[in-house]
Amino acid sequence: MTTKPKVLISDKMDPNAATIFRIRGCEVDEITGLKPEELKAIIGKYDGLAIRSSTKVTKDILDAATNLKVVGRAGIGVDNVDIPAASAKGVVVMNTPFGNSITTAEHAIALMFALARQLPEADASTQAGKWEKNRFMGVEVTGKTLGLIGAGNIGSIVASRALGLRMKVVAYDPFLTPERAVEMGVEKADLDTLLEKADFITLHTPLTDQTRNILSRENLAKTKQGVRIVNCARGGLVDEAALKDMLDSGHVAGAALDVFQTEPAKESPLFGTPNFICTPHLGASTTEAQVNVALQVAEQMADYLVTGGVINALNVPSLSAEEAPKLKPYMKLAEQLGSMVGQLTRDSVPRISIHTEGAAAELNMKPIVAAVLAGFLRVQSDTVNMVNAPYLAKERGLEVREVKTEREGDYHTLVRVSVKTEAGERSVAGTLFNNVEPRLVEMFGIKVEAELAGYMMYIVNEDAPGFIGRIGTLLGENQINIGTFNLGRRNAGGEAVLLLSVDSPVPDAVLKQACELPGVKMVKALAF
Q: Report domain extents, the chain.
A: 6-98+288-307, 101-278, 323-444, 447-528
Indicate if the pLDDT at residue 162 is higher than 80: yes
Q: How confident is the model at residue 514 (pLDDT cuts 50, 70, 90)?
A: very high
Q: How confident is the model at residue 458 (pLDDT cuts 50, 70, 90)?
A: very high
Q: How confident is the model at residue 323 (pLDDT cuts 50, 70, 90)?
A: low
User: What's the average model confidence in pLDDT over 477-489?
Assistant: 90
Share above pLDDT 90 across residues of the chain, in percent, rounded to a whole number: 66
Beta strands 424-433 and 399-405 are: unpaired
Which stretch of 41-50, 111-120, 381-390, 457-466 has the lowest confidence by average pLDDT? 381-390
Indicate if the pLDDT at residue 222 is higher than 90: yes
Q: What is the pLDDT of residue 320?
A: 52
What does the alpha-carbon distance between residue 349 and residue 330 come to, in Å, rounded to a whole number? 24
- Residue 79's contacts (CB-CB under 8 Å, 6 or more residues apart) are none
Indicate if the pLDDT at residue 174 is higher than 70: yes
Indicate if the pLDDT at residue 332 is higher than 70: yes
Let me know how many helices (H) and strands (E) the chain has, helices first.
17, 22
User: What's the average model confidence in pLDDT over 182-204?
Assistant: 96
User: What's the average model confidence in pLDDT over 58-77?
Assistant: 92
Indicate if the pLDDT at residue 386 is higher than 80: no
Q: How confident is the model at residue 319 (pLDDT cuts 50, 70, 90)?
A: low
Handedness of CA 291, 292, 293, 296 (dihedral sign): positive
The model's pTM is 0.71
Q: What is the pLDDT of residue 289?
A: 85
Picking from 278, 280, 262, the residue whose alpha carbon sits closest to that of residue 270 is: 278
Whether 6-98+288-307 shares its CATH topology with 101-278 is answered yes
3-state SS, residue 526 = strand
Indicate if the pLDDT at residue 59 is higher than 90: yes
Tell me 224's DSSP state. P
Q: What is the pLDDT of residue 407?
A: 82
Picking from 222, 280, 223, 276, the residue whose alpha carbon sits closest to that of residue 254 is: 276
Indicate if the pLDDT at residue 83 is higher than 80: yes
Q: What is the pLDDT of residue 369?
A: 92
Of residues 110 and 467, more confidence is placed in 110
Q: How many CB atoms lie within 10 A of CB 508?
A: 10
Q: What is the pLDDT of residue 89?
A: 80
Name the region of 126 (left: φ>0; alpha: ψ -120 to 50; beta: rest): alpha
Q: How confident is the model at residue 336 (pLDDT cuts 50, 70, 90)?
A: very high
Fold of 447-528: Alpha-Beta Plaits (3.30.70)
User: What's the average model confidence in pLDDT over 288-311?
Assistant: 88
Q: What is the pLDDT of residue 423?
A: 75
User: What's the average model confidence in pLDDT over 101-111?
Assistant: 94
Q: What is the pLDDT of residue 383?
A: 64
Task: Note the residue count of the chain.
Answer: 528
Q: How confident is the model at residue 15 (pLDDT cuts 50, 70, 90)?
A: very high
Answer whether 201's CB lies under 8 Å from 227's CB: yes
Domain 6-98+288-307 class in CATH: alpha beta
Q: How confident is the model at residue 167 (pLDDT cuts 50, 70, 90)?
A: very high
Question: Which residue(s) pair with 432 in the sheet?
Answer: 438
For residue 339, which phi and psi values (nearest 5 degrees)? Answer: -65, -40
Instruction: Name the packing angle between helices 101-116 and 153-164 (round to 10°).
Output: 50
DSSP assignment of 58-119: -HHHHHH-TT--EEEESSS--TTB-HHHHHHTT-EEE--TTTTHHHHHHHHHHHHHHHHTTH
Q: What is the pLDDT of residue 322?
A: 58
**What is the pLDDT of the chain when averaged over all its residues?**
90
Share above pLDDT 70 across residues of the chain, in percent, rounded to a whole number: 97
Fold of 323-444: 60s Ribosomal Protein L30; Chain: A; (3.30.1330)
What does the alpha-carbon distance between residue 70 and residue 67 come to, in Å, rounded to a whole number? 10
Q: What is the pLDDT of residue 163?
A: 97
| Positions marked catalytic | 234, 263, 281
Beta strands 227-231 and 200-203 are: parallel
Indicate if the pLDDT at residue 82 is higher than 70: yes
Q: How confident is the model at residue 526 (pLDDT cuts 50, 70, 90)?
A: very high
Answer whether 152's CB lies under 8 Å from 381's CB: yes
- Residue 102's contacts (CB-CB under 8 Å, 6 or more residues apart) are 157, 288, 289
Written as one letter, the residue type at 489 is R
Which stretch of 120-124, 321-325, 452-456, 468-472 has the lowest confidence by average pLDDT? 321-325
Picking from 63, 76, 75, the residue whose alpha carbon sits closest to that of residue 14 is: 75
User: What's the average model confidence in pLDDT over 253-272?
Assistant: 93
Answer whether 496's CB lies under 8 Å from 443's CB: no
Picking from 85, 12, 84, the residue whose alpha carbon sits closest to that of residue 52 is: 12
- The half-sphere exposure of 431 on its side-chain side, counting CA atoms within 13 A, is 17
What does the alpha-carbon distance between residue 150 and residue 231 come to, in Å, rounded to a whole number? 11
Which stretch of 24-33, 178-187, 421-430 has the lowest confidence by average pLDDT? 421-430
CATH of 101-278, one of 1.20.1250.20, 3.30.9.30, 3.40.50.720, 3.40.50.10490: 3.40.50.720
